[in-house]
Amino acid sequence: MPHMDIESVSVRPARDEDQRVLVALWDVCGLTRPWNHAPSDIAFACGRPHSDILVAEYEGRIVASAMVGHDGHRGTVYYVAADPALRGRGLGRLIMRAAEDWLVARGVWKLNLMVRRGNDAVTGFYATLGYGEDEVTVMSKRLQPMPHVIA
Ligand SMILES: CC(C)(COP(=O)(O)OP(=O)(O)OC[C@H]1O[C@@H](n2cnc3c(N)ncnc32)[C@H](O)[C@@H]1OP(=O)(O)O)[C@@H](O)C(=O)NCCC(=O)NCCS
Domain CATH code at residue 19: 3.40.630.30
The per-residue pLDDT for 36 is 87
Q: How many domains does the chain have?
A: 1
Protein residues with CB under 6 Å of any ligand 1 atom: 29, 31, 80-82, 87-93, 115, 119, 121-122, 124-125, 128
Look up the pTM and report it. 0.95
The per-residue pLDDT for 26 is 98
What are the angstrom distances between the C-alpha of 71 and each of 39, 57, 58, 86, 106?
21, 27, 31, 32, 11
pLDDT tens, per residue, the chain with 151 residues: 678 999 999 999 999 999 999 999 999 999 999 888 999 999 999 999 999 999 999 999 999 999 999 999 999 999 999 999 999 999 999 999 999 999 999 999 999 999 999 999 999 999 999 999 999 999 999 988 876 555 4
- Using the CB atoms, write b or e for 25-56: b if 16+ within 10 Å: bbeebebbeeeebbeebbbbbbeeeebbbbbb
Q: Which of 68, 128, 131 to mutate to test the pocket of ligand 1 (most atoms within 8 A of CB)?
A: 128
Q: Is 143 a domain residue? A: no
Rounded to whole angstroms, the Cα distance separating 125 from 92 reads: 8
Domain that holds residue 109: 10-128
Q: Is 134 a domain residue? A: no
The per-residue pLDDT for 134 is 96
Q: Is 3 a domain residue? A: no
